[in-house]
Structure 1
C-alpha cells in the first residue's frame, strides 16, 4: 500500500508538470521558438554551467562547515557526493533529496540521519533569508516592472481567496486547539511518557536534529561560511543573467531583468513538482513579457536555462551516486564495537 501511494504521488506530480508544460507551450509559434534556440550563443550557456558547478562546490564546502561542529567530519568529496545525489533525487520526487543526502552520509561517514537533516533544515532557513533579500532588492530596484506581475497574480486569485478566507480561519482555530490539547496531554502524562521506549527514541531524534540545526552557531569561521552563502547566490544570479546574453531577444535586457528572473525562477524551482518543470517555465516567460520579450523568446530562455542546469544536475548527480556507492562504509570505531559487544 505504501509503495502504491508513493507511485500515485509521483504520477500525480509528474502529471501536473506535464500539464503545466503543455499549457506553457500550447499557444506558441514553435518555428519562432526554434529559430530563437538555433540562433542562440551557447557560449553563455556554458558560462552558466561553470557558474553552476562553482555554486555546487561552494554549497558542499558550506555544508561540511555546518556538519563539523556536530562532532562528525566527512570529507569534502563525500559531502559533495551526498549533496548532488540529493539534488538528483529531487528531480524524481520533490523533497526526497533531503532524506537521500543524509542517508548517503550515514552510509559513508556514519552521520546520524536526524543530525544531518537538522543541518539541511538550517541550510534551507539560510536560503530563505537570502531569497527574502533577493525579493527586497528586486522590488526596490525593479518595482515598476515586477509589481505588475505580482499584482496581476494577486488580482486573479483574490476573489477565490476571499471566498476561502472563512474556511482558513476555521482550519487555523482547529489546528491551534488541537495543538493546545496535545500539549496539555503531554504535560499531564510526561512522567509516563518518559518511560516509553518510542517516546525516548522520538526525543533522541529531536535532540539530534536540533544539534544539526544549531550547529550553524558553532561554526569556527563565520566569515567564510557567510562568504560561501553570498558566493552561492551570486552564482545563481550570474546563471540567470548570462543566459539572457545567449538569445538575441534578451541580450540587451541587462542586470535588472536578471534579478527579476532569479526571483521568479527560484520561486518556480521551489514548487512541489519535479525540478520545477512547468512552473519555472511559466513564471519566467511571464516575467520576461514585462520586459517586452515575446512569448516564444521567453520560453526559449526558460528552456535553455532550465534544461542546461537540469542536465548538469543529472550528470553530476549520477557520477556522485556511483562514487558514493563505491565508497566503503566508514568502519565503526573499535571502542564503539567493544561497547556493543560488552552491552550484548
Structure 2
C-alpha cells in the first residue's frame, strides 16, 4: 500500500468522523437514549431479513454474469463472498469489491480478475438505476429536499421566491460550467481526472454491452434481480420508520426519498457509509418535520443495525470460507466456442 492509498483511507475515516460529529453535536443524548430504549425493535428483524434477502439476490445476479463464461459455483458460495465483501467495505471503503472476488476464488476457483469484471458491470448497472431514481426523487420531492439546503425562511412567499432563485442559479451554473469545459476540452483530455472519468464511462458502456450479450432469458432474469434488489433497498429503510413512534406515520414517498439519500451517503467514500449516511438520513427527516433528536435516533438505529448485520454475517462468511475446502474451476467451452 503506497502513501497515496494510506492518505486516502485516512481522509475517509476523518470524513466519517467529521460528519458523525456534525450530526451528533449539541444533541440531547439522554433524549436520544430514551428514544432508542423505547423503540419497537421487532421491526429491525424485518429490516434485517429484507437486507439478507437482497444480498442473496445480489449474489445470484453476480453469478449470472459469470454464466456466459461457463463459470459455475453454488448459491451459498456467491452469498458468502457477497457478504464478505460488505463486511470488507465496513473496514475499508471500496475494499469489499476486491475482497469478495478473492473469497469467491478461494471457494470456487474462479479467477478474482474475472469475477471482478462482473462486479464492475453490476456497479455500472446500479449507478444508472441510482441516477434515474435519484432524479425522480429530486424532481418529485424538490420542495422538501430544498429545505435541506436552506431550511429557514421568514415567510412561505419568501421561501417560494428563493426556491426559484436557487433553481435559476443551479441552471446558470450548469450552463456556465458546460461552456467552460467545452472551451478547455483539449487541455482536459490530457488530465488524469479526465482519463479516470472516461474510464468510468467506458466501464459503464462495456458493462451494458456485456449484459446485452446475455441470452434473452438470462437478461430478463438479470433485470428482475436488479428490480428485486432495489425494492429490498426501499423496504430496508422504510420499515425502520416503524421502530420509532415519531417516524411511524411517514409515507412511502418519504421512504423512497430516504432510500435515495441514504444511498447518496453510501456513495461517499466513508467506511460502510459511517457519518455520511447519518448526515443525509438526519437532514432528510428534518426536512419532513421530524425533530433533530428523533431524526438522529433513526439514523443511528438504521445504520448501526445494518452494520452489525453485515459484520456478523459477513464475518462468519469469511471464517467459513477460509476453513472450507475450495475446488478448481473447469471452464467448459460451448460447441460454438469450440468451433
TM-score category by the smaller chain? 0.7 to 0.9
Give, in angstroms, the shift of residue 234 of structure 1: 0.7
Give, in angstroms, the shift of residue 151 of structure 1: 7.1
SS of the aligned residue for 1:218 comes to coil
Query: Is the contact made by 2:71 and 2:329 (CA closer than 8 Å) also made in structure 1?
Result: no
Whether 1:245 aligns to 2:242 is yes
Give, in angstroms, the shift of residue 272 of structure 1: 0.6
For residue 269 of structure 1, what is the aligned residue in structure 2? 266
TM-score with structure 1 setting the length: 0.78
The CA distance in 2 between the partners of 1:213 and 1:302, in whole Å, is: 38
The CA distance in 2 between the partners of 1:3 and 1:285, in whole Å, is: 36
Whether 1:134 aligns to 2:133 is yes
For residues 90-142 of structure 1, give each alpha carbon's deviation from its aligned partner in whole angstroms, at most 9, with x where no partner exists.
11111111111122222322322332122111101111222133224323543
For residue 60 of structure 1, what is the aligned residue in structure 2? 59
**Cα pair distance change 1:214/1:139, threshold 3 Å:** same
For residue 309 of structure 2, what is the aligned residue in structure 1? 312
Whether 1:229 aligns to 2:226 is yes
Whether 1:175 aligns to 2:172 is no
Query: Is the contact made by 2:282 and 2:295 (CA closer than 8 Å) also made in structure 1?
Result: yes
Q: Select between 138-147 and 291-300 the one with higher mean Cα deviation.
A: 138-147
SS of the aligned residue for 1:249 comes to coil
**Cα pair distance change 1:116/1:334, threshold 3 Å:** closer
The CA distance in 2 between the partners of 1:47 and 1:145, in whole Å, is: 28
Q: Which structure 2 residues correspond to residues 276-295 of structure 1 after superposition, within 5 A?
A: 276-295=273-292
Give, in angstroms, the shift of residue 295 of structure 1: 0.6
Query: Is the contact made by 2:133 and 2:260 (CA closer than 8 Å) also made in structure 1?
Result: yes
Whether 1:70 aligns to 2:69 is yes
For residues 134-193 of structure 1, give each alpha carbon's deviation from its aligned partner in whole angstroms, at most 9, with x where no partner exists.
2243235433322443677996x98xx89x9699789854331469xx9xxxxxxxxxxx
The CA distance in 2 between the partners of 1:72 and 1:323, in whole Å, is: 22
**Cα pair distance change 1:77/1:175, threshold 3 Å:** same
Unaligned runs of 5+ in 1: 183-205, 336-344
For residues 52-75 of structure 1, give each alpha carbon's deviation from its aligned partner in whole angstroms, at most 9, with x where no partner exists.
011111111111111111221121
The CA distance in 1 between the partners of 2:183 and 2:26, in whole Å, is: 41
**Cα pair distance change 1:134/1:334, threshold 3 Å:** closer
SS of the aligned residue for 1:233 comes to helix
Q: Select between 6-15 and 70-79 the one with higher mean Cα deviation.
A: 6-15
SS of the aligned residue for 1:85 comes to helix
The CA distance in 2 between the partners of 1:286 and 1:333, in whole Å, is: 51
Q: Which structure 2 residues correspond to residues 191-206 of structure 1 after superposition, within 5 A?
A: none
For residue 46 of structure 1, what is the aligned residue in structure 2? 45
Q: Which structure 2 residues correspond to residues 315-330 of structure 1 after superposition, within 5 A?
A: 315-330=312-327
TM-score with structure 2 setting the length: 0.79
The CA distance in 2 between the partners of 1:119 and 1:146, in whole Å, is: 34
RMSD over aligned Cα atoms: 3.4
- Structure with max Cα Rg: 1
**Cα pair distance change 1:333/1:46, threshold 3 Å:** closer
For residue 328 of structure 2, what is the aligned residue in structure 1? 331
Query: Is the contact made by 2:237 and 2:259 (CA closer than 8 Å) also made in structure 1?
Result: yes
**Cα pair distance change 1:82/1:28, threshold 3 Å:** same
